[in-house]
């Protein structure tokens, strides 16, 4: 086990108090905390139950990939998702450009099928999807592999005995449904199931436990042919509006109060039809995706910000004069919450140096160290003042993710997939993007599927077999 560096860790018993303090005071210094051991097996209350080999909780890019790859290994697989659609943030929060490059035949196979809505020649690094049908495309992958999908099933509690996760209870319209499984994969993004099982996790940056802000991403219509699309921070410095850069116009709007105080970057992306764009600009700071009052505030404040931003664009961006909101997301987007501690722990340096591992299950992952400022507008790094220099994210080198980042350190039978795997705040800001999460999910599903079909623990599965499926198929 390497790099198992401990920062702020807690389990669900300590979490509530810590986060209340962190978000009320906006800063907190916390020492390492005692960690959990797991929970006793409780008698399952009467009610419906299912039995399966592999249970995947959460149907985002990581969960759908995990379920598909598990089923492809011949394991009986159930995916349970709390909402009525698969796709995670891309569908529920309208996160439309798929980002991150990774060496994964599975991701390539999926992207070929789901992307190509319309290719933007200015952004060859992005894959565009149709959020109206992504959920159905993902369902096809799972069904074709022989897996089962349960929607409207919200993971509520986990049953653990002898340190092994045995079952997860779901809240459904018919009451509590229990799913017993030999392997459980937590792909909830928030690490809900791992926390319910008593696994240790970390939250936020080291110095104050703050997480990246939430955002309402929305779509607009009514743009004329003149409309330009401004991507990230660097793009905004190159793109001109008259004699000024897109960034200068936005920052003046921020300074003069035409934009919300924390909105210093307005990103727009081309969409499937002419005259449409996807907007990533709203920003709600000091909120936790695990707190019901914070989520409520973020939903309402974020949607109000969206209207203010559209008004600003109508006034300031040529081609946007008749812009209107054509689609609001179902839920606010949560960038960061629990990072569950695994047998290994990925850190920023691993990304910056492009570290490779013998036991890698994700290879060639590339994106940015993309930390949206937890305590203000723009990027967290290179932020020189309230309205000056929004900074730009650093680029990582193609890096690997070792298998130990997906295996829960404290609870047997539990794997993590997607943004809740074991890594630091900085490292997660890169691997949290859609395509890398999908590759992580494919790895977790392959490992779990092989483990149950070979009647082994995940740690006893020959990693070369896993790699063969992931990288050579």
Ligand X SMILES: Cc1cc2nc3c(=O)[nH]c(=O)nc-3n(C[C@H](O)[C@H](O)[C@H](O)COP(=O)(O)OP(=O)(O)OC[C@H]3O[C@@H](n4cnc5c(N)ncnc54)[C@H](O)[C@@H]3O)c2cc1C
**59 contacts ligand X (rule: CB under 6 A):** yes
Pick the binder of ligand X from 78, 129, 187, 313 (CB under 6 A). 187
Q: Is 95 in the site for ligand X (CB under 6 A)?
A: yes
- Name which position in 3, 50, 56, 60 contacts ligand X (CB under 6 A): 60
* 357-375 per-residue burial string, b: 16 or more CB within 10 A, e: under 16: bebbbbbbbbbbbbbbbbe
Q: Which helix (H) or strand (E) holds 51?
A: strand 49-57
- Collapsing DSSP to helix, strand or coil, 213 comes out as coil
Determine the length of the chain. 473
- CB nearer ligand X, residue 143 or residue 457: 143
- Answer for which of 38, 63, 131, 378 binds ligand X (CB under 6 A) is 63
What binding mask, one character per residue, do residues 75-94 give for ligand X by CB under 6 A, x or -?
Answer: -----xxxx----xx---x-
461 vs 445: CA distance, rounded Å: 13
Interaction mask 191-220, ligand X, x per CB under 6 A: -x----------------------x-x---
Write out the binding residues for ligand X, residues 117-176 only, by CB under 6 A.
154-155
**Shortest Cβ distance from residue 384 to ligand X (Å)?**
24
Site for ligand X in 335-364 (CB under 6 A): 335
Give whole-number Cα distances, 454 to 146, 404, 417, in Å: 18, 19, 21
Residue with tokens 């089923």: 71
Number of residues in contact with ligand X, rule: CB under 6 A? 38
Q: Which is nearer to ligand X, 30 or 128 (CB)?
A: 128
Among 136-144, 247-255, 426-434, 455-463, which window interacts with ligand X (CB under 6 A)?
Answer: 426-434
Q: How far is the CB of 31 from ligand X (least distance, A)?
A: 28
Q: Which is nearer to ligand X, 38 or 88 (CB)?
A: 88
Contact 23, 288 (CB under 8 A): yes
Nearer Cβ to ligand X, position 58 or 413? Answer: 58
As measured in angstroms, the least distance from the Cβ of 129 to ligand X is 10
Q: Residue 235: enclosing H or E segment and its boundaries? A: helix 233-238
116 vs 318 by CB, closer to ligand X: 116
**Shortest separation between residue 436's beta carbon and ligand X, angstroms:** 8
Q: How far is the CB of 229 from ligand X (least distance, A)?
A: 13
- Least distance CB 104 / ligand X (angstroms): 14
Q: Give the pairing type, strands 77-80 and 148-150.
A: parallel
Q: Cα separation of 79 and 87, whole Å?
A: 12
CB of 243 to ligand X, least distance (A): 29
Shortest reach from residue 458's CB to ligand X, in Å: 19
Indicate the angle between helix axes 292-316 and 246-255, nearest 10 degrees: 120
Decide whether 78 or 313 has the Cβ nearer to ligand X. 78
- Give 254 or 280: the residue with its C-beta nearer to ligand X: 280
Sole binder of ligand X in the list 305, 345, 434, 446 (CB under 6 A): 434
Going residue by residue from 368 to 397, which x/- string records binding to ligand X, judged by CB under 6 A?
------------------------------
Task: Find the radius of gyration of the CA atoms of the chain.
Answer: 21
Strand partners, 365: 399
Name the residue among 192, 195, 198 with its Cα closest to residue 163: 198
> Which of 414, 458, 457, 431 minimizes the C-alpha distance to 363?
431
260 is a site residue for ligand X (CB under 6 A): no
- Is residue 62 at the binding interface for ligand X, with CB under 6 A as the rule? yes
Member of 8, 38, 58, 470 binding ligand X (CB under 6 A): 58
Element (H, E) at 196: helix 192-197
Query: Could you tell me which residues come within 8 angstroms of residue 154 by beta carbon, excluding any fewer than 6 positions away?
Result: 82, 170, 171, 172
- The answer to whether 153 and 83 have CB atoms below 8 angstroms apart is no
Separation CA 89–CA 107 (nearest Å): 17
Among residues 36, 172, 188, 373, the one that binds ligand X under rule CB under 6 A: 188
d(Cα 427, Cα 66) in Å, to the nearest integer?
A: 21
Beta bridge partners of 277: 220, 270
Q: Which stretch binds ligand X (CB under 6 A): 107-115, 252-260, 348-356, 427-435?
A: 427-435
Q: Angle at Cα 424 formed by Cα 422 and Cα 426, nearest 5°?
A: 135
Question: Are the C-beta atoms of 35 and 11 separated by less than 8 Å?
Answer: yes
- Find the shortest distance in angstroms from Cβ 83 to ligand X: 5
Is 190 an interacting residue with respect to ligand X (CB under 6 A)? Answer: yes
Q: Which residues bind ligand X (CB under 6 A)?
A: 57-63, 80-83, 88-89, 93, 95, 97-100, 154-155, 187-190, 192, 215, 217, 280, 333-335, 418-419, 432-434, 437
């Amino acid at each position: 086990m390497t790099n198992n560096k401990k920062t702020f860790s807690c389990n669900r018993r300590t979490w509530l108090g810590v986060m209340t303090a962190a978000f009320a005071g906006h800063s907190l210094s916390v020492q390492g905390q005692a960690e959990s051991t797991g929970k006793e097996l409780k008698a399952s209350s009467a009610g419906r139950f299912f039995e399966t080999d592999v249970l995947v909780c959460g149907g985002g890019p990581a969960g759908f990939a995990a379920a598909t790859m598990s089923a492809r290994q011949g394991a009986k697989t159930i995916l349970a998702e709390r909402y009525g659609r698969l796709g995670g943030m891309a569908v529920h929060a309208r996160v439309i450009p798929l980002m991150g490059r990774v060496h994964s035949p599975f991701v390539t196979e999926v992207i070929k099928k789901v992307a190509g809505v319309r290719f933007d020649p200015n952004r060859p690094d992005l894959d565009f999807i149709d959020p109206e049908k992504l959920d159905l495309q993902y369902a096809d992958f799972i069904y074709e592999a022989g897996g089962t999908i349960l929607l409207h099933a919200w993971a509520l509690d986990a049953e653990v005995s002898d340190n092994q996760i045995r079952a997860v209870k779901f809240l459904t319209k018919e009451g509590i449904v229990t799913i017993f499984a030999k392997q459980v994969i937590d792909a909830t993004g928030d690490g809900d199931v791992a926390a319910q099982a008593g696994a240790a996790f970390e939250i936020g940056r080291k110095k104050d436990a703050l997480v990246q802000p939430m955002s309402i991403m929305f779509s607009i219509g009514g743009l004329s042919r003149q409309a330009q699309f401004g991507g990230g921070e660097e793009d905004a410095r190159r793109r001109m509006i008259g004699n000024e850069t897109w960034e200068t116009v936005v920052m003046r709007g921020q300074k003069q109060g035409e934009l919300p105080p924390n909105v210093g970057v307005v990103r727009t992306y081309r969409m499937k039809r002419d005259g449409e764009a996807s907007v990533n600009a709203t920003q709600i700071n000091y909120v936790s995706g695990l707190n019901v009052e914070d989520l409520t505030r973020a939903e309402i404040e974020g949607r109000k910000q969206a209207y203010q931003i559209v008004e600003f664009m109508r006034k300031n961006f040529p081609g946007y004069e008749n812009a209107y909101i054509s689609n609001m997301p179902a839920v606010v987007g949560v960038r960061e919450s629990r990072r569950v501690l695994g047998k290994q722990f990925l850190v920023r340096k691993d990304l910056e140096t492009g570290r490779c591992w013998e036991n890698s299950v994700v290879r060639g992952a590339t994106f940015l160290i993309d930390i949206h400022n937890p305590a203000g507008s723009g990027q967290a790094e290179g932020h020189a003042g309230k309205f000056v220099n929004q900074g730009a994210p650093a680029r990582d080198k193609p890096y690997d993710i070792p298998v130990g980042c997906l295996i829960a350190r404290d609870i047997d039978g539990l794997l993590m997939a997607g943004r809740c795997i074991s890594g630091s705040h900085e490292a997660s800001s890169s691997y949290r993007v859609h395509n890398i999460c999908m590759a992580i999910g494919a790895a977790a599903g392959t490992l779990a599927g092989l483990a149950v079909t070979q009647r082994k623990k995940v740690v006893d599965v020959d990693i070369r077999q896993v790699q063969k499926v992931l990288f050579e198929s």
